[in-house]
Amino acid sequence: MKRTFSFLLVLFFSSAIAAAQEPAGLEVVVTGLDAPLLDNVLARLSLSRQRNNPQLTEAMVRRLFTIAPGEIAAAIEPYGYYSPAVEQQLSREETGWKATFHVVPGEPVRVTEVDIKLAGAGRDEKVLLQAVDDFPLRTGDVLDHRLYEQGKKKLTAAALAEGYREVAFSSHRIEVHPGHRSAVIRLELDTGPRFLFGPTIFAADFLSHNFLSRILPYREGDPFSPRALVELRQSLFGSDYFSQVDVRPGDVPEGSVSVPVIITLSPKDRNLYGLGIGYGTDTGVRGLLEWTNRRINRYGHQFNLRFQPSERRSQFGGVYTIPIRDPRKDRLTLLAKWEKEDFETTETEQRKVSVAYDHIRRAGEYSAYLSYLDEDYDTGLESGHAILLTPGVRTTWRLADDRLRTQRGVRVTLDLTGASEELISDSSFVQASISSKAIFAFSDQWRIIGQAQLGGTLVDSVFDLPPSLRFYAGGDQSVRGYAYKSIGPADALGNILGGRYLVTYSVELERKLFGSWSGALFFDSGDAPDSMDDLAMKNGAGVGLRWNAPFGQVRLDVAKPVSEGSESWRIHFNVGADL
């Protein structure tokens, strides 16, 4: 009998332990809160984090349920709520456990005083005083610990940017009085001494140190800034000279505030070769043979030689680039090029040399150039030869979140050029054009893309200009549905001659389909008249397929003219960045 009783007792406790250790399903419901408080509660709540744990048992559920009110209070405290009321209920459902919490956050704690003091050499620094004024929490604001930490980081970052490497908070505290729902912020920032940029030491013998020093975004004696070193590293990597870049501050002697900078550079291969084949609806089958010398000499000069044969337009030429002033932004380019075009009834062969000054800005580029053009041409019944010396300026302004795959952005390009018979040229003219493109994404799935181009030429007759300086419309980048350079004034036999003016615009609606693919609907319109009185816009419309590749967007369009009742469709194919 005694043995039987002992056996039943062991069986009872074993069953109880097994029940406590049996995996338990769990649902967690929190009400009374909105984002971001709700999100933070669910992220901090142990019950929520463990609800899918296969090892979760009844004992664990009850223990985690017990500590949940404290976790909820801690989760909403950073948002200024220090006195929440939590109603909780734990029930056993058919599918497992259900833990319900109704939270009343109560009145938030508000800031009643913000006391920020500066000490050290930078206590009177205007930038730091402005950072104090811009502290994100002010009297009357709800005490948000996230904003408090952001404000501290901005104060520290402002000091570091001004050369205060040893900046630190000698005092930082928040005095919270939950009963009075009030808080006092007290900060004291000690900037320490101001450090300055010392000498820059280059470990690179393949380029002139004088040339390299012109890349520096700082001068010796400027306030030391880690941000400037990051900018320098990016500039060196983007210069196409270096395969490896190491930029670091050197040791500062005791008692000194001069920080040396040590830059170690490894060169890229001097020569780069390119070989390719492709297809464009404007050019037909095309090829590419290219050679680039990244370092002609120790002064950063570069040379590019390119041969691009195609069915309708072939080019061969070289560009010699000389970095000047700030090599990151300024350069001289010397160009020599031969080009031949054969489109429908127009044939041209041109030889061109030019010198240009290019200045690259954060929001675009500016170029001033002088070109010498020698061109032979046959356009329908017209044949001719032109020699022109054409100075000009070109500027591009660009604002975009991402030039490759733009969600919001705009680009505007202005071009002005001309020639005078008194300066070598066979004719006198002045020509100006403006082109623009804008992209706006109004959801994750949809983008609208608009383009426009206007151009005009002051010249006695369009026949005084070679075809390369006349305006045409039609093609991949103009009015789709029409062939390249097929819109413009024509002679008696229908040969397109080109005009003195240009007006085109395009509207495109693009929708993401799946992955990197999207589809588009578009409408294009344009004309290239010899007189604005003869303006007769030609319209094209169609559909397109887009592939967003790592190197840009690949576009395949099918379009037809809609203003002439034509039933023929034309395929257009091109590749490039959005802006």
pLDDT of residue 20: 41
Question: Looking at residues 368-390, what average pLDDT do you find?
Answer: 92
Q: Please give the mean pLDDT across all residues of the chain.
A: 90
Of residues 380 and 354, which shows the higher confidence score?
354
Q: Which single residue is written with the structure tokens 């609208």?
A: 448
Q: What superfamily does domain 22-104 belong to in CATH?
A: membrane protein fhac (3.10.20.310)
Question: What's the pLDDT band for 346 if we cut at 50, 70, 90?
Answer: confident
Instruction: Return the amino acid letter for 291.
Output: W
pLDDT of residue 550: 85
- Please give the share of the chain, as a percent, with pLDDT higher than 70: 95
46 pLDDT higher than 50? yes
Residues of the chain with CATH 2.40.160.50: 271-576
Fold of 196-267: Ubiquitin-like (UB roll) (3.10.20)
Fold of 271-576: Porin (2.40.160)
Question: Looking at residues 526-538, what average pLDDT do you find?
Answer: 93
Q: Is 0.85 topped by the overall pTM?
A: no
Contacts of 156 (CB under 8 A, 6+ apart): 167, 169, 189
Residues of the chain with CATH 3.10.20.310: 22-104, 110-190, 196-267
Question: Looking at residues 236-246, what average pLDDT do you find?
Answer: 90
89 pLDDT higher than 70? yes
Biggest alpha carbon–alpha carbon distance for the chain: 130
The Cα–Cα gap between 343 and 231 comes to 47
Architecture of domain 110-190: Roll (3.10)
Spatial contact of 327 and 215, defined as CB atoms under 8 Å apart: yes
Question: What's the pLDDT band for 10 if we cut at 50, 70, 90?
Answer: very low
pLDDT of residue 565: 64
Question: Looking at residues 161-175, what average pLDDT do you find?
Answer: 93
pLDDT digits (tens, 9 = 90+) for 114-149: 999 999 999 999 999 999 999 999 999 999 999 999
560 pLDDT higher than 80? yes
Question: Looking at residues 393-413, what average pLDDT do you find?
Answer: 92
96 pLDDT higher than 90? no
pLDDT of residue 82: 92
Q: Strand 196-203 relative to strand 258-267: parallel, antiparallel, unpaired?
A: parallel
Task: Find which of 54-68, 268-282, 535-549 is predicted with most confidence, using mean pLDDT.
Answer: 535-549
Distances (CA, A) of 234 to 130, 242, 244, 482, 552: 29, 11, 11, 44, 22
Instruction: Return the amino acid letter for 390.
Output: T
